[in-house]
Structure 1
Amino acid sequence: MKPAFATLLIVSLLLSFSFLQTTMAYSSFCKYKCSVRCSKAGLKKRCMKYCGICCAACNCVPSGTYGNKSECPCYMNKLNSKGKSKCP
């Protein structure tokens, strides 16, 4: 019984490590893309916050600092509670 438990423990640790590595790489992707997207924003902290939320949900950020939302339909279609675009 102990060898089976040890094997299960090792497999679960390897899986969790690979998931963590993927998450860290993904968050650096969003951080980089959003820093480009928000580089000319007046309220950079706010822009980075909402861009990060949208990037995490949509797995993409449109190119440039403004517009081009057609490149990422999910990003374009996210709306706030007032019906306006949530993503910068």
Structure 2
Amino acid sequence: MEQVYASVAIACGLIIALGAVAACIGISLMGGKYLESSARQPELMNDLQVKMFILAGLIDAAFIIGTGIAVWFAISTFLK
């Protein structure tokens, strides 16, 4: 049973870690592209900013959902 606990702990750690890395990379790339496009066309800055914040929320939501799934796996395994 200890092998199952160890495997679940490693899997939960990987889910959270890879989700965090992917979210950080996604938001940084999006922020860089936003700055580039704002510098090229400053008149579109407000419209682009709204879209950037919506996408940032969606990227963070995907990470938080992954964290919730990892916690769900951990709790369901350790409560048996």
Category of TM-score, reference length = shorter chain: 0.5 to 0.7
CA distance in 2, matches of 1:7, 1:55: 33
Residue aligning to 1:41: 42
| CA deviation after TM superposition for structure 1 residue 3, in Å | 2.2
Percent sequence identity over aligned pairs: 14
Runs of at least 5 residues in structure 2 that lack an aligned partner in the other structure: 58-80
Structure 1 unaligned segments of length 5 or more: list them.
Answer: 58-88
* Aligned structure 1 segments of 4 or more residues deviating by more than 6 angstroms: none
1:30 paired with 2:30, answer yes
Matched letter for residue 42 of structure 2 = A
Distance in 1 between the 2:33 and 2:55 partners?
Answer: 9
Count of aligned pairs: 58
Measured on the aligned residues, the alpha-carbon RMSD in Å equals 3.2
Higher relative contact order at CA 8 Å, sep ≥6: structure 1 or structure 2?
A: 2
Q: Which amino acid aligns with 1:41?
A: P
| TM-score with structure 2 setting the length | 0.53
Q: Which residue of 1 aligns with 2:78?
A: none
Give the Cα separation in 1 of the matches to 2:30 and 2:47: 12
Contact 1:34 1:48 in 2 (8 A): yes
Distance 1:29 1:43 in 2: 19
TM-score (normalised: structure 1) = 0.49
Per the alignment, residue 79 of structure 1 pairs with: none
> By how many angstroms is 1:26 displaced?
0.6
